[in-house]
């Protein structure tokens, strides 16, 4: 029969072997999870390769079913100092006398241009630069004698432009 200290020594050795083998398996699994380094191919581009040129950034000003009451002006923030190559993709207005709603564009030379509802895909000249773009909503019940009363309306717009510093 084995003496009590031998049981302790055998248990300690077996636990040591168990821990070392578990650690080695853990390291081996970690090595299998990391991908091998990619071999780089030659950096020369073939003559028939397609070269992609980056397009200028187009930004979008958008509002969908924006509620308002009466007459409201919503100035739009322009990234940069000016906006050029402006395209009004969509402009819709609802409410009483909604046809008096406009998109007001103030150009660099001080000229003001108005765009009315039901406009789709209106392109402006690429060389014109806008200082300010505002959406003006109008929904009023107009009366001849009495004061006009405000009515609820909605505006939907999408304007694409290229910012200029």
This prediction has a pTM of 0.62
pLDDT of residue 6: 84
Residue 128 in tokens: 């014109």
Rounded Cα distance between 152 and 67, Å, is 7
**pLDDT, tens digit (0-9, with 9 covering 90-100), for 79-96:** 889 999 999 999 999 999
Highest mean pLDDT among 54-63, 64-73, 138-147: 64-73
Three-state SS sequence of 5-72: HHHHHHHHHHHHHHHHHHHHHHHHHHHHHCCCCCCCCCCCCCCCCCCCCCCCCCEEEEEEEEEEEEEE
Three-state DSSP class for 137?
strand
pLDDT of residue 41: 55
Q: Which of 28-37, 124-133, 145-154 has the lowest mean pLDDT?
A: 28-37
pLDDT of residue 107: 94
Confidence of residue 39 (pLDDT cuts 50, 70, 90): low
Across 147-151, average pLDDT:
87
């Amino acid at each position: 029969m084995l003496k009590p200290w031998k049981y302790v020594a055998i248990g300690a050795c077996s636990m040591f072997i168990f821990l070392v083998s578990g650690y080695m398996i853990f390291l081996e699994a970690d090595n299998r999870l990391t991908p091998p380094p990619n071999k780089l191919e030659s950096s020369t581009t073939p003559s028939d390769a397609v070269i992609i040129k980056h397009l200028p950034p187009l930004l979008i000003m958008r509002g969908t079913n924006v509620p308002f009451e009466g007459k409201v002006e919503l100035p739009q923030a322009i990234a940069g100092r000016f906006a050029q190559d402006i395209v009004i993709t969509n402009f819709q207005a609802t409410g009483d006398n909604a046809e008096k709603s406009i998109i007001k564009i103030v150009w660099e030379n001080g000229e003001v241009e108005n765009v009315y509802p039901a406009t789709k895909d209106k392109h402006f000249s690429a060389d014109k630069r806008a200082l300010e773009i505002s959406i003006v909503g109008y929904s009023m019940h107009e009366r001849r004698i009495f004061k006009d009363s405000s009515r609820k309306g909605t505006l939907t717009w999408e304007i694409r432009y290229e910012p200029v510093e």
